[in-house]
Structure 1
């Protein structure tokens, strides 16, 4: 599981020193970027700071903000004064003749009764005159900080004579934090500015939020009252937090690059809160819903990203829309909106690029199997490890995969994807089956991949044929089957011994694979570039070919011809006949 903690120790220590200077700061960062957590760490570690946090945007009632701040800053004064007022009113009522319980005789002596009477009258007059609580608490603020200022002067005087006083003085570092100030309504912000005039230079004040969207920022009001704007540490910036996550995902999901995801997240300034949501859903999709090994990793991660941060785009994916960069040609095509250029480019390629359709990697990509990529989609693919086990132990299964690999399947794509890291036992079983199928004859990209992998694993600098002679003998390859293998899979015609070539048309006719024997005969008796100038005997042999062998012969010849561009136009007529399956009519023109 990804460790979501970020080490900001150095930045915490540095900012903690600033908070002891009794200045006003603005800690800049978007909502969810880690500002509050950063400050909480400072509060937890630095015991010399008395940090108070107020979230004005969370206050949903009509209570005075000035009162709320006073309660947070001076709770003992508030609750003690509240208790005194309530008790004074209760006692004054109980001491009257209306409620006569004998209390008046016991408290009328001395100044206590006078104090109670004054407090009660003060509350009554304040109620009658409709004095605002703001005025009352503003007055209390002034009184509190007047005494606090005198106390500080006194402590300055005494700290040189007493270490204990010096410690007490150092502990007086009050900090008031207005958290997420950009989310507060303009009226609430104006109320907060009232208290600022009293608190400024007496305690440290920190506003946090995104300075670009502060309501009063239009007139540079905030800049006038803020001594210094502080940016979040680099470790909390998008480029740093996503780089750490991308590195983890590449290792955990076994993928070489996630450059598109990183570029998209950074360019769209996705913060810590966004990253947390992304991590949670990645964990659910790849592990809880078992998609690991069943989807192309970056495509799935981008779709998770779209699901979280671009709801409209995700809805269009569900509707089967294809994304284009400009000029939609049908209602099934749309231009992505409200997203970065990098995300637009990725979506266009993911949903429309024709090269993605023929991609042989396992698992299938979005174009080939889009439904599995949707969030909370049910996995229908066979488990990758069970497929590998089946390939290793089941001869019939291997034959079915290799015989039908031209048509594409999850199992064939799995071999393409896993063959480099495949266990020797599994690979050798696959190779044995491939050698039996090739002699039929058969050619496919998957069979070529298996043969190339064997050569790579042996890494032998000796003759290519030396590696395969044992297989030829084991599976009873005929002369034409050997030549088919050598020409098709090895490209090592120069290593064929003279005795293995077909030297007469009579031996060509008797070959198991007639068309490859004819090719070998022509290849060794004339310049291949003049192959289209066959003599009558050679054309007659061609005339006996079925359409499959006829097409195979000319398609194989094209490998030689088309490598030499000056003969490309001369070959187009033959190629067209083959593609239109009208090869026999072409023969009649030459007989």
Structure 2
């Protein structure tokens, strides 16, 4: 049955309370000082800053120099973020001046100006039109660049009042290029003392740290709350996991996570595989829990050692390293029931089930004409063909891997998916790009070049980024800042739902339900094309819960944000819009239940 909250999964990863620290930081932002928020990768810096912003009365302007491919200078990009109206007005004025310069040329003047009424054809009007055109001509003659104007404007003390309610956040400062770091320092020289500036990153990795320049410009170095550090996040997680699954995880294993400083992002990754193996694949009663968790740990954090185990290397040789002594101790135990790892290795490997498909039959499928169809039909995580490809994939020839990727992309283009298709795309992404630590936007561009060969439309590309590359809608909304629901990309797109959600993210309308009427009309268009996508959108923005297997829908009259102790606004307006449409799904066999209240935790 569908539950009101996903207690079997998401609630175990409850948000860690950092409200006091966030409030303190927000109070510091009343000063126009420079801050450095220090934290290693995966420790929750972005989420913490969201909490700070919710406590602050100021608007946070995020400058993500690493996430977007942009050839403009840092000062240019910052100006567009800090002063969007002035930036657009400046561009419009420039265009108007160019048009006027054309209108006052002799050829146009003789034909156009003579037909205007007398007062418009006066010498005064012509002179007024001529002056800005001369200014444009002089500007172009001396080859001035707009960046000089931006630099002057940002440096001018008289414009300080325009930044009064803003905070500039330069995110992932340790990951941007040295050139952009230099640009950020120049930007700082313009804005110093005019508004709070927050540099975010790992302080030890900053390029300028050796020259001590960064230390000179920073007024306050802020550390993340200790509650976000590895030594404080694991005990509560395993306590909740024990309650949920009625298991008893060894303190020895818990200590390993703490000793190796596994962070919040790694906790999320680990939890995904715990739920996959113990719940979705129903292995909880067929394995010794601590040994299964140890195997998941090796799979995630020591993948080469996992592959050695998979290939049959002796356990003592494989985990002989000093830092793996805890894993060795756990996996070496042979007593107890269910069978221990040593006696039933295949049963503990990830994705593993009893194999029914013979190797020769699987080979025939791989080399046969129905491979594309079988990747969907036999591509679920419980299917034998999936597990054959999974276990053999690393040893396959390049030509065979390319064939599998080709058929996977053809299926995705046709709107079909399976666990096998997901595995192939994610594995190829890791091998080709991610293991090389390529920047996210570069990975996007590399995949777009491939997807173009299969004629993916723009909405399908957004779907691909979110589904297979795990790029969140929040980041997609930052990557694409000019989406339009009246564009051909949306109207003709095959994945309108993902385009629509990215558009909401771009407009910061994800949990703000006071949408323009045009939004609701486009949502109705999505419903008429594909009601599953319609339900997916409403589920993502928390207006409903839906279980597609049991065909159950829960609609909420009220959504209460427990974190901020307030109701989300305009839920009643949204309910009036969606209720008549959802009622139509009764004809499709869906049962619809109305509940008074939903409790969520949103920063």
Question: Secondary structure of the equivalent of 1:255?
Answer: coil
Question: Secondary structure of the equivalent of 2:79?
Answer: helix
Partner of 1:509: none
Listed as ranges, the matches of 1:363-402 within 5 Å are 363-378=338-353
Q: What whole-Å deviation, never above 9, does each CA across 1:214-270 have from its counterpart, x for those lacking one?
A: 111122221111111111112211122222211112222333343233222222222
Listed as ranges, the matches of 1:416-431 within 5 Å are none
Q: Which has the larger radius of gyration?
A: 1
Partner of 2:49: 39
Q: What whole-Å deviation, never above 9, does each CA across 1:566-585 have from its counterpart, x for those lacking one?
A: xxxxxxxxxxxxxxxxxxxx
Query: How many Å separate the matches in 2 of 1:184 and 1:199?
Result: 20
Listed as ranges, the matches of 1:113-262 within 5 Å are 116-143=129-156, 145-148=157-160, 172-262=164-254
| Structure 1 residue 346 corresponds to structure 2 residue 326 | yes
| Structure 1 residue 49 corresponds to structure 2 residue 58 | yes
Residue from 7, 31, 36 that aligns with 1:26:
36
Question: Cα offset for 1:115?
Answer: 5.8
Which 10-residue stretch deviates more, 172-181 or 190-199? 172-181
Which 10-residue stretch deviates more, 171-180 or 219-228? 171-180
Alignment CA distance shift 1:228-1:115 (3 Å): farther
Residue from 285, 304, 307 that aligns with 1:312:
304
Query: How many Å separate the matches in 2 of 1:298 and 1:112?
Result: 85
Partner of 1:270: 262
Query: How many Å separate the matches in 1 of 2:151 and 2:145?
Result: 10
Instruction: Give the ranges of 4+ consecutive aligned residues of structure 1 lying more than 6 Å apart after TM superposition.
Output: none
Question: Cα offset for 1:108?
Answer: 6.2
Q: What is the TM-score normalised by the length of structure 2?
A: 0.53
Q: What whole-Å deviation, never above 9, does each CA across 1:20-50 have from its counterpart, x for those lacking one?
A: 111111101122211111112222343x212
Question: Cα offset for 1:122?
Answer: 3.9
Q: What whole-Å deviation, never above 9, does each CA across 1:541-576 have from its counterpart, x for those lacking one?
A: xxxxxxxxxxxxxxxxxxxxxxxxxxxxxxxxxxxx
Residue from 98, 107, 116 that aligns with 1:98:
107
| Structure 1 residue 63 corresponds to structure 2 residue 76 | no
Question: Cα offset for 1:110?
Answer: 7.9
Query: How many Å separate the matches in 2 of 1:279 and 1:336?
Result: 26
- The answer to whether the 8 A contact 1:50-1:175 is kept is yes
Alignment CA distance shift 1:318-1:225 (3 Å): same
Partner of 2:281: 289
Question: Cα offset for 1:200?
Answer: 1.0
Question: Secondary structure of the equivalent of 1:241?
Answer: helix
Question: Cα offset for 1:289?
Answer: 1.0
Residue from 72, 83, 105 that aligns with 1:74:
83
Q: What whole-Å deviation, never above 9, does each CA across 1:445-486 have from its counterpart, x for those lacking one?
A: xxxxxxxxxxxxxxxxxxxxxxxxxxxxxxxxxxxxxxxxxx
Query: How many Å separate the matches in 2 of 1:266 and 1:115?
Result: 72
- The answer to whether the 8 A contact 1:95-1:102 is kept is no
Query: How many Å separate the matches in 1 of 2:302 and 2:59?
Result: 41
Question: Cα offset for 1:94?
Answer: 2.5
Partner of 2:95: 86
Q: What whole-Å deviation, never above 9, does each CA across 1:324-368 have from its counterpart, x for those lacking one?
A: 4xxxxxxxx34556xxx45x11233345x4xx23x0x22112111
Question: Secondary structure of the equivalent of 2:62?
Answer: strand
Where is the helix percentage greater, Structure 1 or Structure 2? 1
Question: Secondary structure of the equivalent of 2:342?
Answer: coil
Query: How many Å separate the matches in 2 of 1:235 and 1:110?
Result: 73
Question: Cα offset for 1:211?
Answer: 0.6
- The answer to whether the 8 A contact 2:97-2:136 is kept is no
Query: How many Å separate the matches in 1 of 2:122 and 2:85?
Result: 29
Partner of 2:511: none
Query: How many Å separate the matches in 2 of 1:114 and 1:141?
Result: 32
Query: How many Å separate the matches in 1 of 2:136 and 2:39?
Result: 44
Q: What is the TM-score normalised by the length of structure 1?
A: 0.54
Query: How many Å separate the matches in 1 of 2:248 and 2:239?
Result: 10
Question: Cα offset for 1:272?
Answer: 1.7
Query: How many Å separate the matches in 2 of 1:111 and 1:223?
Result: 57
Query: How many Å separate the matches in 2 of 1:252 and 1:25?
Result: 41
- The answer to whether the 8 A contact 2:287-2:340 is kept is yes
- The answer to whether the 8 A contact 1:246-1:258 is kept is no
- The answer to whether the 8 A contact 1:64-1:133 is kept is no
Query: How many Å separate the matches in 2 of 1:254 and 1:132?
Result: 66
Alignment CA distance shift 1:335-1:88 (3 Å): same
Question: Secondary structure of the equivalent of 2:343?
Answer: coil
- The answer to whether the 8 A contact 1:50-1:172 is kept is no
Question: Cα offset for 1:90?
Answer: 1.2
Alignment CA distance shift 1:14-1:146 (3 Å): same
Which 10-residue stretch deviates more, 48-57 or 131-140? 131-140
Question: Cα offset for 1:126?
Answer: 3.7
Q: Structure 1: give runs of 5+ residues left out of the alignment.
A: 152-170, 325-332, 381-591
Question: Cα offset for 1:109?
Answer: 4.8
Question: Cα offset for 1:58?
Answer: 1.3
Question: Cα offset for 1:54?
Answer: 0.8
Question: Cα offset for 1:271?
Answer: 1.8
State the aligned residue count: 342
- The answer to whether the 8 A contact 1:56-1:188 is kept is yes
Q: What whole-Å deviation, never above 9, does each CA across 1:297-350 have from its counterpart, x for those lacking one?
A: 1221122122222221211121122344xxxxxxxx34556xxx45x1123334
CA RMSD in angstroms, aligned pairs only: 2.6
